[in-house]
Amino acid sequence: MPFELPNISGEWNDKIFNLQAAEFEQTALQTYVYQYNHNTIYAQYANAVGRPPQKCCSLTDIPFLPIRFFKSHKVVSGNFEPEAIFESSGTTQTINSRHYVKSMAVYKESFQQGFKQFYGTVTDWCIIGFLPSYLERSNSSLVVMADELIKQSQHADSGFYLYEHEKLFQTLQTLEAKKQKTLLIGVTFGLLDFAEAHQLNLKHTIVMETGGMKGRREEWTRQQVHDFLKAKLGVSSVHSEYGMTELLSQAYSDGNGIFYCPPWMKVLLREEDDPLRIANDGSGIINVIDLANIYSCSFIATDDAGKLQPKEGFEVIGRTDNSDLRGCSLLAI
């Protein structure tokens, strides 16, 4: 009998966001069975590569859907009217990915729980979103996340900044004087532009870059970006977020480019020359399991190259040769 998920607003939702490590594999296998039975595109792909559910007994058996399918197909599990459609930013030369979201409540629960795990109670923070390229679009998952966290922070100075460098500079100085814990989350080119014009000594502010130059600047390595921001803004480390349009969860790095996932998200690496083989030497191309993606696809083969690190950390070391520039992917080392 096919496995069926409980009501999304009930048992299953509670299960994935309170998941214990020992439960992950079985929960992922159950999710795969559900999505195989309700996602036509994913089922066709799984059959084409010879990995139907009866042949999948472990995480390493599950087929990962190439991320490019989100550009060419409607990747959904079940029939529903989406509450939102997230779209990647891309460039004028690329086709954008589209993620059809059945329940915004699931997305909000995912990023709220993830933020709490990594950064604590949101009301302790002033949150500033410096996301000019994303604010110019109405269908960015990153803007939705930042907007909700800004509202939940309930801080008078929390908010978005487009290109108001001088206003941002003054606000950060005021918050520093008050010793207010502040999160400045910004697109990479915006942070670099700001740091070129304004020097600060931030002791109570976390600077988080989301990656992506989008043709606005010459591409820098991650190390170059972080070194420049640390020197200009006076921070000891630069945090990063690893997320993308096709996911409903995010991994975070508190410096040195090492990311960690929340309990319902996991990264595996596949062999570059064999997409069905999980790499066993600690380096390869990133596969992401995101159990919050219940009603799209939880098993995504990205175009990002990576390395595994201790304690289930991972590092993003660049893009595969034929991949498009991605809004939230990190730069090549």
Q: Is the pLDDT of residue 9 over 50?
A: no
Looking at 15-19, 184-188, 193-197, 320-324, which range is the least confident one?
A: 320-324
Q: Which residues partner with 274 through β-bridges?
A: 271
Which pLDDT score, from 0 to 100, does residue 221 have?
83
- Average pLDDT rounded to a whole number, residues 302-328: 78
Which pLDDT score, from 0 to 100, does residue 13 have?
75
Which residues does 138 contact at the CB level (< 8 Å), separation at least 6? Answer: none
Which pLDDT score, from 0 to 100, does residue 213 have?
58
Which pLDDT score, from 0 to 100, does residue 6 have?
47
- Average pLDDT rounded to a whole number, residues 328-333: 38
* 8 A C-beta contact, residue 267 and residue 288: yes
Angle in degrees, CA 184, 185, 186, rounded to 5: 115
pLDDT tens column, 270-285: 998 898 999 878 899 9
Q: How confident is the model at residue 326 (pLDDT cuts 50, 70, 90)?
A: very low
Token representation of residue 253:
């790095």
Q: Is the pLDDT of residue 4 over 60?
A: no
pLDDT tens column, 145-188: 999 999 999 999 999 998 889 999 999 999 999 999 999 999 99
User: Mean pLDDT of all residues in the chain?
Assistant: 89
pLDDT tens column, 205-219: 999 998 765 555 677
Which residues does 215 contact at the CB level (< 8 Å), separation at least 6? Answer: 91, 325
Looking at 120-129, 136-145, 319-328, which range is the least confident one?
A: 319-328
* CA of residue 89 relative to chain centroid, distance: 14
